[in-house]
């Protein structure tokens, strides 16, 4: 029997997320790459000895049983607590990377966890899966195992060698149930980065869709919104990223494309997404002001898109932010300069932008809470603030 292990790497300065090529169980996440991607996939093949016919038959029987009970797993749940044991942490295996892609604990988080275990012991038992070959795989508790292994390595105290665990049997749980359990346990206890949350939402959506528990996509999103404690509109945004073709989704999950450019690309068809990646370039994909322009129109032919790309290369951001932080001795002259600038902006650009609200082209923000103290001590006066916040010529004339 031959198995393949794929890894993604790049000589370019590419900030990679988790190994998207990791492949175990059903493919719920994308794998395709655009042809000009500097990341290259390496495939290693391993020849395994002939498998035990008894184990093969057990695996076949398990698959047949699980497929018939998948919906039952989700609707009725699984008794997590019926098998409780103390297990040797050095004999536990981590689960597949494409199942548990959540970030490892930071150094500070790990030290805090180590301190907690050292002081009061392991309060929350692990959740493990007993595989067909009798080995144990960590479903929930990877960070706790890392912390305990650190403690045992440094103290050789057997108190840290054995951990309490609830053990699920391979014959009674489905892959989708286990992957759901991994997502649940990480969402409950961990700080989750936006990209990881997007990945978890998309995977969870796909699992629930395949489990056929809900009649519509909207019902799934509403359920996920309550579960993830995220606004429905935010979750709809995340799920809408499923409109991205695989090559773009891979970049998103590898943290190589930001959320806003990804949302822009999701507005156009798959062919256009690929043409933009191949002709504008992956290295420019996070230039938001240019991506917005390129995705303003859908269904462009390649010649028209190439002309827009040439135009896009000349574009600069329509707006930008300038932050000024000043000492109390400089607040009055600073606001005088800002007030004069605001007056100049209104007198010269109100007609150009055809608006009575200067925030459209020159918005000034200050810390209102702190301004009241400067007013109280007469370091600045109200007329100066009124000038800074003037919206149009009429307000200027009233000053």
Query: Read out DSSP for 172-184?
Result: T--HHHHHHHHHH
The whole-number pLDDT of residue 29 equals 66
- Same structural domain for residues 116 and 149? yes
235 lies in some domain: no
Total domains, the chain: 3
The whole-number pLDDT of residue 24 equals 63
- Same structural domain for residues 106 and 66? yes
The CATH number of whichever domain residue 163 belongs to comes to: 3.90.1530.10
- Same structural domain for residues 356 and 308? no
pTM higher than 0.75, yes or no? no
24 lies in some domain: no
What are residue 47's DSSP bridge partners?
Answer: 2
The whole-number pLDDT of residue 189 equals 62
Which residue stretches of 25-141 are H helix? Answer: 53-76, 107-120
254 lies in some domain: no
The whole-number pLDDT of residue 240 equals 82
**pLDDT tens per residue across span 208-232:** 887 777 778 888 888 888 777 777 7
170 lies in some domain: yes
- Same structural domain for residues 106 and 185? yes
- Same structural domain for residues 72 and 156? yes
Contacts of 6 (CB under 8 A, 6+ apart): 19, 21, 22, 23, 41, 42, 43, 44
391 lies in some domain: yes
73 lies in some domain: yes
The whole-number pLDDT of residue 27 equals 63
Which residues of 131-281 form beta strands (DSSP E)?
Answer: 136-140, 162-169
**Other beta carbons less than 10 A from residue 129's beta carbon:** 19
- Same structural domain for residues 339 and 304? no
- Same structural domain for residues 65 and 129? yes
Please state whether 121 falls in left (phi above 0), alpha (psi between -120 and 50) or beta. left
The residue among 158, 175, 191 that closes a domain is: 191
Q: Which domain holds residue 279?
A: 267-318
The residue among 165, 191, 217 that closes a domain is: 191
- Same structural domain for residues 118 and 179? yes
Low-confidence ranges of the chain (pLDDT < 70): 1-31, 40-51, 55, 58-59, 62-77, 188-191
282 lies in some domain: yes
- Same structural domain for residues 376 and 284? no
- Same structural domain for residues 185 and 275? no
The whole-number pLDDT of residue 16 equals 52
The whole-number pLDDT of residue 5 equals 45
The residue among 191, 215, 234 that closes a domain is: 191
What 192-197 contacts at long range (C-beta under 8 Å, 24+ apart), as own/partner pairs, is 192/102, 192/103, 193/103, 194/259, 195/17, 195/252, 195/253, 195/255, 195/259, 196/101, 196/102, 196/103, 197/228, 197/230, 197/238
- Same structural domain for residues 140 and 173? yes
220 lies in some domain: no
- Same structural domain for residues 283 and 393? no
């Amino acid at each position: 029997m031959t198995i393949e292990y794929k890894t993604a790497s790049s000589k370019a300065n590419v900030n990679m997320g988790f190994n998207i090529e990791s492949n175990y169980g059903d493919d719920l996440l994308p794998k395709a790459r655009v042809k000009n991607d500097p990341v290259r996939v390496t495939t290693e093949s391993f020849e395994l000895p002939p498998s035990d016919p008894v184990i093969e038959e057990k695996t076949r029987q398990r698959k047949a049983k699980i497929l018939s009970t998948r919906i039952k797993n989700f609707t009725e749940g699984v008794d997590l607590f019926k098998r409780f044991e103390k297990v040797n942490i050095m004999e536990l295996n981590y689960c597949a990377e494409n199942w548990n892609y959540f970030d490892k604990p930071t150094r500070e988080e790990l030290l805090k966890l180590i301190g907690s275990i050292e002081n009061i012991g392991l309060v929350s038992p692990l959740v493990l899966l007993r595989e067909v070959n009798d080995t144990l795989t960590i479903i929930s508790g990877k960070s706790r195992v890392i912390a305990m292994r650190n403690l045992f390595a440094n103290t050789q105290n057997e108190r840290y060698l054995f951990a309490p665990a609830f053990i699920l049997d391979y014959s009674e749980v489905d892959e989708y149930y286990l992957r759901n359990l991994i997502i649940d346990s990480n969402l409950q206890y961990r700080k989750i980065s936006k990209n990881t949350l997007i990945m978890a939402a998309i995977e969870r959506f796909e699992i629930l869709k395949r489990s056929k528990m809900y009649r519509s996509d909207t019902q799934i999103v509403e359920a996920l919104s309550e579960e993830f404690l995220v606004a429905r509109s935010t979750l709809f945004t995340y799920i809408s990223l499923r409109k991205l073709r695989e090559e773009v989704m891979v970049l998103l999950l590898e943290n190589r494309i930001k959320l806003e450019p990804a949302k822009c690309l999701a507005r156009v068809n798959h062919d256009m997404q690929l043409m933009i990646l191949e002709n504008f370039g992956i290295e420019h994909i996070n230039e938001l002001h240019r991506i917005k322009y390129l995705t303003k129109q859908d269904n462009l032919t390649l010649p028209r898109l190439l002309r827009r790309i040439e135009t896009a290369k000349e574009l600069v951001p329509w707006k930008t932010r300038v932050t000024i932080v000043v000492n109390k001795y400089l607040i009055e002259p600073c606001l005088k300069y800002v007030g004069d600038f605001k007056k100049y902006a209104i007198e010269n650009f109100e007609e150009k932008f055809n608006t009575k609200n200067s925030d459209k082209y020159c918005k000034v923000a200050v810390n209102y809470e702190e301004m009241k103290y400067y007013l109280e001590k007469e370091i600045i006066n109200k007329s100066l603030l009124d000038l800074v916040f003037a919206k149009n010529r009429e307000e200027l004339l009233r000053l």
